[in-house]
Amino acid sequence: MTPNAESLGIGIVSIRRIDDEHPRPTSPSEYDDWGEFAPEARGMPIERWLIEVTHDGEVSAVGDMSAHAVWHGPTPGSRASNIGISLIDDWRGHGIGAVAQRLLAEELHADGVIRVEASTDVENIAEQRALARAGFALDGVLRGAQQRRDGQHDLQVWSHVSAGAPSSIIGLPTTDLDAIALARAYPWPADRAWLRAMMVLTLDGAVAGADGRSGSISSPFDQRVLAEARRLSDAILIGAGTLRAERYKPMKARDDAQVERASLGLAEAPVLAVLSGSLDLPWSDPLFAESARRPIVFTTAGHENADLEAAQAAADVVVLPGVRDVATECVEELHKRGLMRIVCEGGVRLLAGVAAAGLIDEVDLSLSPLLAAGGQVHVGPPVPSPVRYALVQTLQHDGFLFTRYLAEH
């Protein structure tokens, strides 16, 4: 295999410069609808590469990549290459983007380019994962950097630097964010079901303070992050231990969120879903009677009729079939109800089950600047083969670090 190729399940991915014999394929992207070009940008030199997949001797042109120079100073070592990629629809989702961008970064490094950059929309989760898998690191967000037909866009900037080049800590501190910027920090993918796990942890791993609640290790900004992560979700999934400790308030959406939810075809507010084996829940809490949507309670078989009736008076009770692990059955049931955007807020025992079942697409972990000692709860058996997550965002506020990780699968 040549150095600019790598074997993947679907075949060998390779890249070559575009020429007359290997023209650019048509691979339209929703991120490429530019509108009118600026006259000064028309003559910008752009190099192009073709991405090919070879399988059983058959070569398919599956997409293309571009590179243009970005100058960070007047010296030769200040010339970075900014790369872009477009894949034909049918070839997406196979890991080709990650391999192709890594191959291109290596080729450019071999040509003497120290810094290879890629910029992508903050909403473009597929490309962020591909870049992380290609070995790029997130440098930060360029606010209001790019105009396209539909308006101005923030761009994440990722980089891949030659071995030996100095590299500082990934992710920039963000001292404060306005509501609009925060809204863009926790996007949902448009076209697939997604489970986001949220937790706040102290420096020593506690999930609650001395009062047994997470509020005492949280901060007002952490609460804003949580509210933002929930704002456009379909369902919030928690364990009974969390409901008993935290006593959630009724689930309602603010007026402005309702307008945005309606424009996206979402119900008026997220629905709360609770997993409880015992059905020992605070049924008289306002959460059950006053939420915008009737909460769902998942439970297992074998309850007395009276207990089931008490639960059914307050919530939609779903007795899980017990064929698969409970976490998978809960999530499948939510999907069956059209609830695709799920925020799993713990606690630790529920999250352990959800993690073990491989259901977590995104982990949003807030690190609280406290040592709290007590308050840790057991976390269940270890996952047999840990799943790796790529760090795609860090925000910082008042000593708290807000991380966002995406599963690398």
Ligand X SMILES: NC(=O)c1ccc[n+]([C@@H]2O[C@H](COP(=O)([O-])OP(=O)(O)OC[C@H]3O[C@@H](n4cnc5c(N)ncnc54)[C@H](OP(=O)(O)O)[C@@H]3O)[C@@H](O)[C@H]2O)c1
* Sites of contact with ligand X (CB under 6 A): 199-200, 207-208, 212-214, 238-242, 245-246, 275-278, 280, 300, 326, 345-350, 353, 377
Residue 141 CB, shortest distance to ligand X, in Å, is 25
Using DSSP, state whether 82 is helix, strand or coil: strand
Between 98 and 395, name the residue whose CB sits nearer to ligand X: 395
Between 169 and 301, name the residue whose CB sits nearer to ligand X: 301
Phi (first) and psi of residue 143, to 5 degrees: -80, 135
Burial class (CB in 10 A: 0-12, 13-18, 19+), 357: middle
Residue 176 CB, shortest distance to ligand X, in Å, is 22
**Which neighbouring-strand residues pair with 54?**
12, 59
Half-sphere exposure of 44 (CA within 13 A, CB side): 16
Between 25 and 239, name the residue whose CB sits nearer to ligand X: 239
Between 84 and 353, name the residue whose CB sits nearer to ligand X: 353
Between 366 and 394, name the residue whose CB sits nearer to ligand X: 366
Q: Which residues contact 98 (CB under 8 A, 6 or more apart)?
A: 129, 130, 131, 133, 134
Please tell me the distance from the alpha carbon of residue 58 to that of residue 251, in angstroms, as a whole number: 55
Between 22 and 213, name the residue whose CB sits nearer to ligand X: 213
Between 224 and 349, name the residue whose CB sits nearer to ligand X: 349
Residue 280 CB, shortest distance to ligand X, in Å, is 5
Taking the alpha carbons of 356, 368, 225, 31 in that order, is the dihedral positive or negative?
negative
Residue 271 CB, shortest distance to ligand X, in Å, is 17
Q: Which residues contact 280 (CB under 8 A, 6 or more apart)?
A: 240, 244
DSSP state string for 341-389 = EEEE---HHHHHHHHHTT--SEEEEEEES----TT-----SPPSSPPPE
DSSP state of 19: B
* Contact criterion met (CB below 8 Å) for 196 and 404: no
Between 53 and 217, name the residue whose CB sits nearer to ligand X: 217
Which of 38, 115, 32, 110 shows the shortest CA–CA distance to 69?
115
Residue 14 CB, shortest distance to ligand X, in Å, is 45
In this structure, the number of other CB atoms found within 10 A of the CB of residue 107 comes to 19
Residue 47 CB, shortest distance to ligand X, in Å, is 47
Which of 237, 249, 259 shows the shortest CA–CA distance to 346?
237
* Contact criterion met (CB below 8 Å) for 331 and 342: yes
Residue 36 CB, shortest distance to ligand X, in Å, is 47
Residue 283 CB, shortest distance to ligand X, in Å, is 12
Residue 391 CB, shortest distance to ligand X, in Å, is 19
Between 84 and 295, name the residue whose CB sits nearer to ligand X: 295
